[in-house]
Amino acid sequence: MLRKKKFLVGGLVVFLALGYLIYTGFQSSATYYYEVSELLTRGDSVYGENVRVRGEVAPGSVERESQGTVLRFIITDMEGEQSLPVVYQGVVPDTFKVGVEVVVEGQLDSDGVFQAHTLMPKCPSRYVPQE
């Protein structure tokens, strides 16, 4: 009888540990993204936090530094009412261009500039070859 109780308690502990690991793994991978206006509304509460922001690359805002590793651009919310300057350092995906919807991941600094470490442009819904 004592042996069955030990087995049952041990199995319960293993089951709870696995459940906890699955739950925390899911929570870290299910990151919500903000719209530009939502992020700006939150103000000081998001400074220094790792967040994702979705927006559209504003026309005429893309600047690359001479070395090509630093990219500066502005994203606007889908209504075009609010904008957010972004600085990204790294390899720029081929699908990144003006007018494309992007999700950037990084931190908003106290100057109001979003320091992105991940840049994810939305892929087109269908492939259209270049002329």
Query: What would the pLDDT profile of 65-114 be if each residue is shown by its tens digit?
Result: 877 688 999 999 877 789 999 999 888 888 888 989 999 999 998 888 99
The Cα 128–Cα 116 span in angstroms is 29
Residues 6+ apart with CB under 8 A from 121: 93, 95, 96, 97, 100, 101, 102
Query: What would the pLDDT profile of 33-69 be if each residue is shown by its tens digit?
Result: 889 888 888 878 888 888 899 999 999 999 988 776 8
The Cα 107–Cα 113 span in angstroms is 9
Query: Given pLDDT bands bounded at 50, 70 and 90, which one contains residue 117?
Result: very high
Phi/psi of residue 111, each to 5°? Answer: -85, -5
Locate 98 and state its tokens. Answer: 């003006």
Residue with more model confidence, 10 or 131:
10
Q: Average of pLDDT values for 17-34?
A: 76
3-state secondary structure of 124: coil
